[in-house]
Amino acid sequence: MEWIGENDSIETWQEVSLVYNAAMRQVRTKMEILNEEFQHVHQYNPIEHIKSRIKTPESIVKKLRRHGLDSTIENMVNYVNDIAGVRIICSFTSDIFMLADMIEHQQDIKVIGIKDYITYPKSSGYKSYHMIVTVPVYLSDRMVETKVEIQIRTVAMDFWASLEHKIHYKFEGDAPEHIKQELVDCAHLVSDLDEKMLQLNEEILEFSRKLEEQNG
């Protein structure tokens, strides 16, 4: 089957919606399968839950305008990387990098960009692991390589990001300084909590291993 670039194969918003919805569902299904496999093999679920969404036309147009671009389908496809988004919520920070590595090794997923806000948080305190990937969407007469943004974060990080998002829109991106500082302070608390929960989990696992050895 001949490969057709996104520019040449997507011409209307209906096609954008169709193709990106298909790509989003593919990625979500892959993550659910990985989680089920982990449960079967290791009796452990690294993924707490998965969220997915397609960006609205209004949101896409706003993003294009912020970058000084015309609101065309071609610009949407070329310059907006998060039309389709999948967010993976994990229990522990160690799960984030493990899942990112698994995603990179999926044969039909191509990673085209990574932003590691776990190792290098934003100044606001925001932490998450972002991957821009492409997956092949097979239509009746062609295949379209389609971009999906994957965000991987812990439950605690997601809770913080949800509040930060609400505040950002409440104040239209210009929150009072004392609220911004409170958010940064909360981000530090979230990081400490994630680290302590990871340490506690590792201690529990080590205790379980020793108990199995004694009873083995």
User: Which amino acid would we find at residue 160?
Assistant: W
Backbone angles phi, psi at 142, to 5 degrees: -165, 170
- Select from 120, 84, 119, 102 the least CA-distant residue to 46: 102
**Active-site residue among 149, 172, 203, 206?**
149
- Select from 99, 113, 110 the least CA-distant residue to 136: 110
The reply to whether 15 belongs to the active site is: no
Contact 148, 55 (CB under 8 A): no
Buried b (16+ CB within 10 A) or exposed e, 54-77: bbeeeebbebbeeeebeeebebbb
Q: Given the DSSP bridges, would you call strands 143-154 and 84-90 parallel, antiparallel or unpaired?
A: parallel
Q: Which residues are catalytic?
A: 149
